[in-house]
């Protein structure tokens, strides 16, 4: 399917119809691997998109904020009934930022990539709806009607469960190299150059055959219902996918919801997490940063009085909910530019921590820990791309990170990254993970 790069003044036409009760991911059986996928099981939100009616893909870092801002203003005309609400219609993400050791595997995803799918299927109440998009102009309405009819005629009404049998994964990651980088970070903290830095590492996994990414998505959403499951497929077939627990920003008009998510323990140690000084200091740094960042953009900002426990399958986090009433004219793009990266994925002081990562992390994060999600007129929901992997064929590169503060130890931080990797490894392998 053809990829279009929109120019100023570009317009799109769209149409919509209801579908029978079903599962957006089940469409993969007849339409192929989706171009985008997004699901938040606890909120009954699920979206799958196929094809690319348009793509916004800035090629210069200076263009990225303007590209994101443009997504809420580009012109869209509905033929017939328009949906009351719908996620998107733009889906995508962007790089974490400047990182060391550039990796060409990320080239197809680019600095940022936002897709308007040709076909979008989403859960709406007890049923599904489908929308189709095409460039405005001669043949546009016909293309929309044709796409809607094609989907209506073939879309399955069942649920897409995982189907593949468990497979053995060959894993490769260097514990000594990671622990050496942790020690360098702790030296910088002890010297007073940093208060906190979030250090990431990669883990390479290879299966005996190409990964079925639809099966991987099926496992991710079933095993991680408190997370947002996502997939963004690049033109070369590489898929960035994962199940992340962390909201960067959810904007609905002038209302913003976000959260501080920092401080981690194994499920069996959850009760001690709120009394652990290291984790409380790590968490407090994120809360203070977000509140200070949002105040100039907001009429009012409030936060939970104390952190709660967010219990996931493999780990438990400290979580503080934060709400804001944005000043008139403030957009999601401005919120992202101000907030990202938070100390939950970068560190404090912010610029020193980011410089340390470029010099010492030895990793191209690509879209890992960057904003991913959907954007529409006056609405956006962007998560932080954590618990994720870049999958191409039978190979997957997983990304996991830890927040380092005074009192951190290399061995404990390695164990934390091992815990955090389990969600993706179980989804890729289809079974439990045995460490050797």
pLDDT grade, residue 115 (50/70/90)? very high
> Average of pLDDT values for 381-403?
97
> Average of pLDDT values for 6-11?
62
**Residue 196 falls in the annotated catalytic set:** yes
> Average of pLDDT values for 364-370?
97
pLDDT for 84: 83
The closest of 174, 210, 234, 203 to 410, measured between CA atoms, is 174
Arithmetic mean of pLDDT over the chain: 92
Q: Which two tokens stand for residue 204?
A: 């390479």
Q: H-helix or E-strand containing 3?
A: none
The C-alpha R_g of the chain, in whole angstroms, comes to 21
pLDDT for 8: 52
Q: Which two tokens stand for residue 294?
A: 């949002």
> Average of pLDDT values for 12-33?
94
* Statement: residue 196 has pLDDT above 80: yes
**Residue 8 falls in the annotated catalytic set:** no
> Which of 39, 52, 118, 246 is an active site residue?
246
> Average of pLDDT values for 63-69?
93
* Statement: residue 395 has pLDDT above 50: yes
> Average of pLDDT values for 126-142?
92
pLDDT grade, residue 313 (50/70/90)? confident
Tell me the domains of the chain and their CATH numbers. 11-154 (no CATH), 170-429 (3.60.120.10)
* Statement: residue 1 has pLDDT above 50: no
* Statement: residue 6 has pLDDT above 80: no
pLDDT for 270: 76
The closest of 267, 226, 205, 229 to 392, measured between CA atoms, is 205
Q: What is the pTM of this model?
A: 0.94
> Which of 52, 118, 196, 420 is an active site residue?
196
Q: Among 74-83, 132-141, 322-331, 393-402, whose mean pLDDT is lowest?
A: 74-83
pLDDT grade, residue 435 (50/70/90)? low
pLDDT grade, residue 277 (50/70/90)? confident
The closest of 91, 395, 401, 412 to 246, measured between CA atoms, is 401
What is the rounded distance in angstroms from the CA atom of residue 132 to the CA atom of residue 151? 9
Q: If you search the block for the tokens 């570009």, which residue do you land on?
A: 10
């Amino acid at each position: 399917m053809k990829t279009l790069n929109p120019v100023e003044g570009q317009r799109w036409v769209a149409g919509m119809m209801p579908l029978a009760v079903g599962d957006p991911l089940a469409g993969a059986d007849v339409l192929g691997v989706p171009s985008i996928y997004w699901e938040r099981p606890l909120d009954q939100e699920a979206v799958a998109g196929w094809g690319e009616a348009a793509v916004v893909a800035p090629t210069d870092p200076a263009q990225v904020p303007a590209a994101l801002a443009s997504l809420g203003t580009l012109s869209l005309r509905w033929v017939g009934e328009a949906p009351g609400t719908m996620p998107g219609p733009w889906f995508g993400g962007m790089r974490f930022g400047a990182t060391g050791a550039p990796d060409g595997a990320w080239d197809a995803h680019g600095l940022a990539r936002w897709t308007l799918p040709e076909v979008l299927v989403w859960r709406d109440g007890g049923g599904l709806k489908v929308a189709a998009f095409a460039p405005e102009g001669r043949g546009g309405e016909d293309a929309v009607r044709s796409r809607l009819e094609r989907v209506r005629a073939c879309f399955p009404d069942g649920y897409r469960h995982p189907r593949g049998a468990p497979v053995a994964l060959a894993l490769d990651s260097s514990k000594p190299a990671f622990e050496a980088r942790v020690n360098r970070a702790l030296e910088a903290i002890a010297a007073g150059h940093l208060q906190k830095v979030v250090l990431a590492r990669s883990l390479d996994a290879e299966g005996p055959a190409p990964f079925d990414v639809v099966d991987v998505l099926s496992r991710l959403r079933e095993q991680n219902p408190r997370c947002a499951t996502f997939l963004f497929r690049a033109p070369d077939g590489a898929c960035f996918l994962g199940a992340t627990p962390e909201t960067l920003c959810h904007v609905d008009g002038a209302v913003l919801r976000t959260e501080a998510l920092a401080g981690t323990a194994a499920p069996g140690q959850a009760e001690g997490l709120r009394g652990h000084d290291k984790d409380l200091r790590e968490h407090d740094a994120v809360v203070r940063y977000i509140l200070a960042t949002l105040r100039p953009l907001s009429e009012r900002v409030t936060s939970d009085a104390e952190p709660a426990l967010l219990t996931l399958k493999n780990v438990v986090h400290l979580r503080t909910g934060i709400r804001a009433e944005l000043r008139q004219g403030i957009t999601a793009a401005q919120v992202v530019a101000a907030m990202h990266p938070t100390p939950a994925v970068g560190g404090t002081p912010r610029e020193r921590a980011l410089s340390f990562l470029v010099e010492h992390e030895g990793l191209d994060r690509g879209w890992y820990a960057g904003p991913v999600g959907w954007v529409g007129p006056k609405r956006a929901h962007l998560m932080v791309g954590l618990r994720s992997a870049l999958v191409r064929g039978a190979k997957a590169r997983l990304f996991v990170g830890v927040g380092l503060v005074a009192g951190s130890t290399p061995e404990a931080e390695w164990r934390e990254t091992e815990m955090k990797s389990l969600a993706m490894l179980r989804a890729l392998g289809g079974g439990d993970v045995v460490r050797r």
